[in-house]
A and B are shown apart, each in its own frame.
Chain A
């Protein structure tokens, strides 16, 4: 347990998350983990961590930390904002670029407001005890992460290294698109037969907005009401992240990372796994429209999306002293005649 960052200001809702807690849903324990699994992976990749290492998930407003280790390397992914290193002056270290900070420096996470959640990784990862095989925080029942809760002022965050080597800092070759206008793809069911044909039409053609009563457990949507054929209760059955349940209010709720494991409302559709991170970065006030695909299409999209993500990681490249990426210049054939065989 090596002290690395001291929390000066916690931000609105900052929690430790990893890729989720698997193997305990049969005793009612939600999976939890990052709302935006891709953002979480990319933050880890920026600081050369194992991709499942625990990161901070930042929602609402950015925290502020004092570095207490000899040095630390930080990577922020998600929002278009960046890291403001107090006292250093100069521009923000942009989101999507690693930075090495030294003891006593103070760093403030500045969010630009485009992504609902952002991820901050430190090199070698945050050190919190494993709880039911995961480091993810589940605040509703108060376990996992740092004492089962969101960060508070004065908390100490521990890591696995007191000092990190100097090396070229790195960045992504392309800015990350959040896909805020992209349709969220779903596979109808498991209980689409509980709804009228008109309700299915309205669901697929309507525009919904994410209400402020949304959190890590579920995004509540406002928009066209969806009529049940008769009953809106089913015998409780299993739920996954992405299940879209429609209770008696006739308004859909998309269950997210902290989804309860079982539920008694019919589920009109399920968000495909590749689009869960796309939905996860949209917060209250954003709009959502749904598009129906087959399960086979969902699986094809997932594989393509995974290849794309791995490619983004492979193309992480150094930033030179002036903050200009050499790799980007190579890419655009501005220097020499280097041809990338992968292009």
Chain B
């Protein structure tokens, strides 16, 4: 069954694409292949980046050729089964208090819920990290409960503060640094999602799972202080893929 295609990015990368859908099944195939290719260590490959429905394999054209890699990857796609990688489930504190959530009242009104109901609905769902992109450490997580799905804001902000918890379409995310952004801001997390001084760079990786829990403004402040002192790491447990 051939249900993938390989696209070219000149002599720099190959894109292995599984359709055009954003869903868990497609994401699991992407993550499984990323794992297979990483383990295979094909000569000349430099980096493998998983995205929603495809993965991009960067290579050095002095060390291999696109044709050789295409052949090797095609064989591996056919063998690639389910991902066996151990995943992390992260428990992330968020303050949904309107003082920390500039758009939550408007979102609540638009979807016909109370602010508390929006917070409860958002925190009551476990999310899958599809990919990291846009800016360093920015996790695209899904899927939002159908009730909370809204298009992006008509007027994107030029400055979204770091830690902002955001929603748009079927996705939720946290802005790791200040950045422009067009998503609805429904909370703030005191957790550091990107730290260039750390070995991994980002807290979350593609395939991780995330569950948010509501904290008060006081709890937010004390966690934030601990984060600044490098004394706080959010709870995580290992889960099966």
Contacts and interface: CB of A to CB of B under 8 A. Distances in A.
Interface of A: 22-30, 131-132, 138, 140-144, 148, 186-187, 189-191, 234-243, 260-263, 267, 269-273, 295-296, 298-299, 302-303, 306
Contacts of B206: 26
A267 to B, nearest CB: 8
A26 B9 contact: no
Contacts of B135: 28, 140-141, 260
A248 to B, nearest CB: 14
Contacts of A262: 49, 51, 131, 133-134
Contact of B205 (A27, A30, A138, A270): A27
A302 B201 contact: no
Interface stretch (B59-67, B99-107, B184-192, B210-218): B59-67
B85 interface: no
B20 interface: yes
Of the listed residues A22, A240, A306, the one surrounded by the most CB atoms of chain B closer than 10 A to its CB is A240
26 contacts: A22-B46, A26-B50, A26-B206, A27-B136, A27-B194, A27-B200, A28-B137, A28-B202, A29-B202, A131-B197, A190-B8, A234-B20, A235-B51, A236-B140, A237-B17, A238-B9, A239-B56, A240-B10, A242-B9, A262-B133, A273-B12, A295-B11, A295-B67, A298-B10, A302-B61, A303-B62
B58 interface: yes
B197 to A, nearest CB: 7
Contacts of B131: 236, 262
B61 A261 contact: no
Given A26-B49, A26-B50, A238-B54, A298 B9 contact: no
B42 interface: no
Nearest to B195: A143
B218 to A, nearest CB: 30
B33 interface: no
B9 A270 contact: yes
Given A28-B137, A141-B196, A262-B131, A238 B15 contact: yes
A144 B196 contact: yes
B51 A238 contact: yes
B132 interface: yes
Interface residues of B, number: 49
Given A22-B46, A26-B49, A131-B197, A242 B133 contact: no
B52 interface: yes
A187 B205 CA distance: 31
Contacts of B141: none
Interface in B1-22: 7-13, 15, 17, 20-22
A246 to B, nearest CB: 15
A258 B104 CA distance: 34
Given A187-B8, A237-B56, A262-B133, A25 B49 contact: yes
A241 B47 CA distance: 13
Contact of A141 (B48, B50, B177): B177
B17 A24 contact: no
A270 B13 CA distance: 10
B42 to A, nearest CB: 15
Contacts of B201: 24, 27, 29, 132
Of the listed residues A132, A191, A269, A295, the one surrounded by the most CB atoms of chain B closer than 10 A to its CB is A295
B31 to A, nearest CB: 11
A28 B134 contact: yes
A299 B56 CA distance: 18
A269 B197 CA distance: 35
B51 A270 contact: no
B53 interface: yes
A137 B202 CA distance: 18
Contacts of A131: 196-197
A141 B136 contact: yes
Nearest to A234: B20
A39 to B, nearest CB: 18
Which 9 A-B pairs give the minimum distances between C-beta atoms? Answer: A238-B56, A262-B133, A190-B7, A27-B202, A270-B10, A143-B196, A298-B11, A187-B10, A28-B132
A28 B205 CA distance: 10
